[in-house]
Amino acid sequence: NSDLILYVNLELINRKSNRRYVVQEMLGQGTFGQVAKCWDTETSSYVAVKVIKNQPAFYQQAIMEVSLLSLLNEKFDPDDQHHIVRMLDFFLYQNHLCIAFEMLGHNLYELLKRNSLRGLQMKYVRTFSRQILDALIVMKDAGIIHCDLKPENILIAPTVKTAAGVKVIDFGSACMEGKTIYSYIQSRYYRSPEVLLGYPYTTAIDMWSFGCIVAELFIGLPLFPGASEYDVLCRMIEILGGQPPDDLLREAKNTGRFFKHVGSIYPGSEARNGTGSAYRILSEDEIEARESMRPKVGRWYFPRGRLDRLIFTYPWKNLSEENLPETEKADCLALVDFLRGLVEFDPNK
């Protein structure tokens, strides 16, 4: 992509290794490679270096990560105010593309685990949400879709001047809006309806994942921890009390995998099911009949129910809506309202 490559100084890629970075310990491992905590001998500070697997597909996508992050850092957030990780350097080392980032802290999944998956206090949910949203606004302005927003890809940022801060990382799956290539994107729990159903996607898919993250920060467990894509869709329908709009179902490529057409194909026909939709989700038995769709045993066992129930009476709080103090009740109501705007089936909304 010529617009983007402008932002990648190819000379830097060809720079010979000068032993600038000394590996201290491994920080994390992902699909794209490994991340090491390194001592930067030039600046006398720690940095996080992502070492990309030396296979062409990973290299290509990592070049995209470098391009999109340069664009975001330099053109859209020059003063580092919008909670997006800073890229410091990139180079080739023994045929591995390496990307150096500012050193950040634990990711939000680790934070939730440390908190025994009991969720964070509302004040932290609010602060983190505002900051992630700030990053998403900048990404939307830049026309960049992150495509893998999840707690593992949001890191505590100790350097942020406020008491608690986060930054969005991992643009390794990101792409430009209108130049989408892949259809199998996003981590399953955070996968948007349009991606599940195979419908052209926009930056709205990040907003869906963001909604899932906000709920998870408060509840402590994923909102839609489906063991399969079908399971994720069933949980959405149950928790949100609705289903994707017919326009989307009619045009999406994968609708037939999950839904049965029960209405008439003729416009104006009244033969619709009880919900007024021309489609209904397949039953467990119908899904069972399709070998490849059989759900595997899930990681989470989570009480099912409507969104407001989950927020008001999630298992750890041991409270019911009735005995919640007034301020907490108002906070929960506001959170449910906020979430409703985010986990919205219709991408246009």
Residue 65 interacts with Mg ion (CB under 5 A): yes or no: no
Q: How far is the first Cα of the chain from the last one, in angstroms, to the nearest whole number?
A: 30
Helix (H, G, I), strand (E, B) or coil at 84: strand
Give the count of residues interacting with ligand ADP (CB under 6 A): 20
The whole-angstrom separation of Cα 232 and Cα 15 is 46
Residue 73 interacts with ligand ADP (CB under 6 A): yes or no: no
For residues 131 and 166, is the Cβ–Cβ distance under 8 A?
yes
Judged by CB under 6 A, the chain residues 128 through 167 that form the site for ligand ADP are: 152-153, 155
101 binds, among ligand ADP, Mg ion, none (CB under 5 to 8 A by kind): ligand ADP
SS3 of 205-248: the string is: HHHHHHHHHHHHHHHCCCCCCCCCHHHHHHHHHHHHCCCCCHHH
308 binds, among Mg ion, ligand ADP, none (CB under 5 to 8 A by kind): none
Question: Applying CB under 6 A, which of residues 66, 125, 136, 170 lies at the interface with ligand ADP?
Answer: 170
Q: Is 206 designated active site? A: no
Least Å distance, CB 30 to Mg ion, is: 5
Of 139 and 249, nearer to ligand ADP (C-beta) is: 139
Judged by CB under 5 A, the chain residues 4 through 43 that form the site for Mg ion are: 30
The whole-angstrom separation of Cα 219 and Cα 112 is 10
Among the candidate windows 26-34, 178-186, 193-201, 319-327, which touches ligand ADP by CB under 6 A? 26-34
Of 106 and 261, nearer to ligand ADP (C-beta) is: 106
Residue 153 interacts with Mg ion (CB under 5 A): yes or no: yes
For residues 263 and 270, is the Cβ–Cβ distance under 8 A?
no
Residue 107 interacts with Mg ion (CB under 5 A): yes or no: no
The whole-angstrom separation of Cα 37 and Cα 21 is 9
Look-up of token digits 């509302």 = 122
Question: Applying CB under 6 A, which of residues 4, 15, 20, 28 lies at the interface with ligand ADP?
Answer: 28
Binding track, positions 286-315, relative to ligand ADP; x by CB under 6 A:
------------------------------
The whole-angstrom separation of Cα 9 and Cα 50 is 18
Judged by CB under 6 A, the chain residues 93 through 112 that form the site for ligand ADP are: 101-104, 107
For residues 49 and 35, is the Cβ–Cβ distance under 8 A?
yes
For residues 70 and 7, is the Cβ–Cβ distance under 8 A?
yes
Query: Quick one: CA torsion of 311, 316, 318, 321, rounded to 10 degrees?
Result: 0
Among the candidate windows 29-37, 66-74, 213-221, 236-244, which touches ligand ADP by CB under 6 A? 29-37
Least Å distance, CB 36 to ligand ADP, is: 9
For residues 29 and 46, is the Cβ–Cβ distance under 8 A?
no
Of 50 and 257, nearer to ligand ADP (C-beta) is: 50
The whole-angstrom separation of Cα 298 and Cα 242 is 23
Question: Applying CB under 5 A, which of residues 77, 170, 216, 231 lies at the interface with Mg ion?
Answer: 170
Least Å distance, CB 20 to ligand ADP, is: 17
Judged by CB under 6 A, the chain residues 259 through 278 that form the site for ligand ADP are: none
What's the length of the chain? 349
Could you tell me what percentage of the chain is helix, strand and coil, using 3-state DSSP and rounding each to the nearest 5? 40, 15, 45
Amino acid identity, residue 135?
Answer: A
* Active-site residue identified among 77, 80, 141, 148: 148
Residue 169 interacts with ligand ADP (CB under 6 A): yes or no: yes
CB count within 10 Å of CB 317 equals: 17
The contact set with Mg ion (CB under 5 A) reads 30, 153, 170
Looking at the annotation, which residues are catalytic?
148
The contact set with ligand ADP (CB under 6 A) reads 27-28, 30-32, 35, 48, 50, 85, 101-104, 107, 152-153, 155, 169-170, 172
